[in-house]
Amino acid sequence: MTSQYGILQKQYRNSLIKEIVRKSIHLCSAFVPTFLGIAYYPAIGALCALGALYCVSEVLRLRGISLPGIARITEVAARKRDENRFVRGPVTLVLGILCAAVFLPPQAARIGIYALAFGDGLASLCGRLFGRVHIPFTNGKTAAGSLACFFAVFLSSFCVCRNTQASLALAAAAMLVEIIPMTDFDNIVIPIAVGSLARLLLG
């Protein structure tokens, strides 16, 4: 019994470490709007280059060839469902940020990217750490994670637009989108959906 408990504890710890690594990458994407404001086209180019480099690294990794650093981070961060498969998360993350940056005005893009960085990032971590109440039909999403997403998006949106009502609406929208089980494609949907709503609400 004790041995089984120890195994479960180790599995939980490893799963938590993977989630922390994955969501740390999410949180780092919050720096992108600043880079876009300083040098828009070089930042877009850098995002495209990073996405392409990651794809090359994944193809090589699946063939038994590891690029120093990148493949190791992928292996550490990969979820159980991603083992021995192309890990799509970083690709959809870059695509979501690029879509927001290219197709939305700067303010709306910033809000959408922050929703992805803080809302989605903190939702998963808080759900893992504090989630006890699971939301039905959401593939394991928790009330704690959804609340973390709401407050994170509300605060980040308010810091950008200084509009309480709009920030509440954006936070509610982000929370509802984040609840939908979309595997890694929420990385694309969240910044586009929240950013597009910000564009409508804020003009």
Tens digits of per-residue pLDDT, 136-178? 888 888 999 999 999 999 999 999 999 999 999 999 999 999 9
20-34, 38-52, 90-104 — which is least confidently predicted? 20-34
Residue 190 tokens read as 């969240």
Q: So what's the pLDDT on residue 12? A: 63
Section 115-135 average pLDDT: 87
29, 134 Cβ separation under 8 angstroms: no
The answer, yes or no, to whether residue 182 has pLDDT greater than 70, is yes
Counting beta carbons within 10 angstroms of the beta carbon of residue 147, is it exposed (0 to 12), middle (13 to 18) or buried (19 or more)? middle
pLDDT category of residue 86 using cuts at 50, 70 and 90? confident
Share of the chain above pLDDT 70, in %: 88
Confidence (pLDDT) at 174: 96
pLDDT of residue 130: 84
CB 199 within 8 A of CB 108: yes
In the block, tokens 């404001």 appear at 37
Which residue type is seen at 26? H
User: DSSP states of 110-168 as a string?
Assistant: HHHHHIIIIIIHHHHHHHHHH--SBPTTSSS-BHHHHHHHHHHHHHHHHHHH--HHHHH
Q: Cα(191)–Cα(188) distance, rounded to whole angstroms?
A: 6
Cα-based distances in Å from 190 to 4, 21, 146: 39, 20, 13
Q: Which residue has the higher pLDDT, 120 or 162?
A: 162
